[in-house]
Amino acid sequence: MTRFAAPIAEQIWDMKYRLKDGDGKVIDTTVEDTWRRIARSLASVEKDPKHWEGKFFNALEDFKYLPAGRITAGAGTDRTVTLFNCFVMGTVPDSMGGIFDMLKEAALTMQQGGGIGYDFSTIRPKGAPVAGVAADASGPLSFMDVWDAMCRTIMSAGSRRGAMMATMRCDHPDIENFITAKSDSARLRMFNLSVLVTDAFMEAVKADKSWDLQFDGVVYKTVQAVDLWNQIMQSTYDFAEPGVIFIDRINNANNLSYCETIAATNPCGEQPLPPYGACLLGSINLARLVSNPFEDGAQMDEEALNELVATAVRMMDNVVDASRFPLEAQAEEARNKRRIGLGVTGLADALLMLGLRYGSETAAAQTEAWLKQIARASYLASVELAKEKGAFPLFDADKYLASGNMMNMDDDVRDAIREHGIRNALLTSIAPTGTISLYAGNVSSGIEPVFAYAYTRKVLQKDGSRTEEEVVDYAVSLWREKFGDRDLPDYFVNAQTLAPLDHVRMQAAAQKWVDSSISKTINCPEDISFEAFKDVYMEAFETGCKGCTTYRPNDVTGSVLSVSESEPKSSEKPVLVEAEENGAEVVYMSEPLDRPQSLEGATYKLKWPDSEHAIYLTINDVVVGGRRRPFEVFINSKNMEHYAWTLALTRMISAVFRRGGDVSFVVEELKAVFDPRGGAWVKGKYIPSILAAIGGVIEQHLIAIGFLEGEGMGLKSDPKAAVVNLDAPRGKACPSCGQFDMRMVEGCMTCASCGHSKCG
């Protein structure tokens, strides 16, 4: 029998977490092999590895404890990757040399698979004088563009999709440009943006006071705080960015406020971190710990929860010693403080199993109780580790107990820490769990409500076709097993039907016992008024949240795809999207796709007469709308005389392919190129140039995948494209699979069809 609760779970495991060699040969035969690999790796730093390997395996078994994806995919593989999810980089110096030193560090970190966060508030504003060069500064946004380009370059080299967070203080002189930067959809695509909002600013907003924008003590501009707040709100209302981070609350609640200052977060915001801080994440699957679900005696198994938390804390602490780090400064920071971020997933499902309506006061109270229990169990487990292995190096009992969330912790926990110390400075965080939640059987993500109780997912098959399968929420699946087709009770609510303030209530309840922060999206209806929208953020501030991220569907952020069969009005701008009639094989894409993590293709050897070295062409394809089409070309040769033009050709053809539509003209244009020095006879046929030969190879590939009818012929069939009206709301295509199934979950755009996440 399979351990997977749903087909999608096994597909996610095979695609993202199953260990395979460089040729794709399977090493993890079963998911038990994956659990064993992780358990053995994390137990290797213990004095009794065999004992702890068994304990760790039991925690992983049946998806009860879910390490973050990097640990699941990377532990025990001997690959040069970090097991930490993301990093906040060093403070950016306000100098050209220092800025580019930071850029290099960012590139090295992203190359190993780490997402990064940066505070750009330390760079002088645009127009400020630069001493010694008789010039004005270009400002932080110009350097953010450089970071953005770097991230795209790292991705194009085959690394895991990059995720970056940029923050800026609400009193920086360039804050207004920062707020509106992503109104240009082509700019800063690799970044999430968040404004660091101070308590003083929020008080100025409420009192309608003026607000100085300053740098290094120099006031550049004075604005009304309300006007600046409205700019932030309007941009978020229209574009879902920037997010808001209540930075003073984060620093005041930090257990390490005596030895660090935080000015940035990781890409999804759940880990506020100091310079070179790293986040190590994992989640307790609450949906697996409820006994007698949907019955009168349904309850959380508290003993099992406490035991699982203790084991998870030990596993995560071991990751600090087992992981590689891109930079030594990151390793030193991690070892000095040993912070971890243990969170939860399946919360909404667990509440449903107890008959509680997500967003209600009763559900919020239960959430707070569970999170407090996890916090207590985490801290006590860390105390036990301190007894055995020692406290974190920067531990100072008096300062630690007088700072941050420790002021609110129960007396017995505080007494234990005072007597024995604590192994990990911070222990709890609620991270995005979209992919690992699918892997665990489609349990609800993090502390989010269930997004949809069932939906249809398009699954890519090996032959390039797509089939459809129903994906059912874990709790709904259990309900069906128990009660068949009986209607779901009224307390089954989802993200689409909840009032925004219900979301806030749940986030605030969880935040009380989470010592880092929470990745959560507050879904707002498209027709929410601007004033009601602003009230969501004010309520988040007033109820103790450390940040706020909302998502309001509209024609910019994305919503349901609207296809019109009729001709567009003359004032409307049509975009061809995909051929639908007669099984046409050409696809018109509404926008170029980012490169998926993996593609299928073929490599061809081209030997040109009188040339010492062969040319190799690799052509990779993407499946869009169930149809295979060319996506990119790589041309390689050992002949360095070919280097420049083959590189240029590679980029130009790939760019054309990624635009979509009928790209067969590329073949015809290449085949028509005549070389005045003469062509060559190849397989009994005269080819006028080496470029024509390359065109011929591409043509044969397009015929092989069914894109062209035959040699010298056009499209396999004449497409009649559907028309999308840009003035109507439409969803965004997934950059990995091309499906229009992107949704905002836990502050991150995530694809329901393939599990792709912007934040990794």
Q: What is the pLDDT of residue 213?
A: 98
What average pLDDT values come out for the chain (760 residues) when binned by 10 residues? Answer: 85 90 89 97 96 98 95 88 88 93 91 87 94 84 91 61 87 97 84 96 98 97 98 95 96 96 94 94 97 95 98 97 92 96 97 97 98 98 98 97 92 97 97 91 95 80 70 94 93 91 97 95 93 97 96 69 32 34 46 68 83 82 75 82 78 82 80 78 79 89 81 50 38 62 74 68
Which of 164, 154, 13, 186 is CA-nearest to residue 595? 154
What's the distance, CA 187 to chain centroid? 18
Q: What is the pLDDT of residue 578?
A: 36
Identify the bridge partners of residue 116 per DSSP, sorted by sequence position.
Answer: 87, 164
In our burial notation (b when 16+ CB lie closer than 10 A, e otherwise), range 710-744 reads: eeeeebbeebebbbbbeeebbbbbbbbbbbbbbbb
Q: What is the pLDDT of residue 628?
A: 78
For the beta carbon of residue 563, count every other beta carbon within 10 angstroms.
Answer: 13
Q: What is the pLDDT of residue 594?
A: 64
Residue 304: its H or E element: helix 302-322
Amino acid identity of residue 209, one-letter, is K
Amino acid identity of residue 251, one-letter, is N
Residue 606: its H or E element: strand 600-606
Q: What is the pLDDT of residue 7?
A: 87
Written as six digits, the tokens of 246 are: 């209540």
Q: Are 544 and 399 in contact (CB under 8 A)?
A: no
Q: What is the pLDDT of residue 220?
A: 97
Q: Which residues are catalytic?
A: 266, 268, 270
Please report, in angstroms and rounded to a whole number, the separation of the first and last CA atoms in the chain.
31
Residue 466: its H or E element: strand 466-472
Put simply, whether the predicted model's pTM sits higher than 0.85 gets the answer no
Written as six digits, the tokens of 609 are: 């007469």
Q: Are 312 and 59 in contact (CB under 8 A)?
A: yes
Q: What is the pLDDT of residue 718?
A: 40
Q: What is the pLDDT of residue 544?
A: 96
Q: What is the pLDDT of residue 81?
A: 78
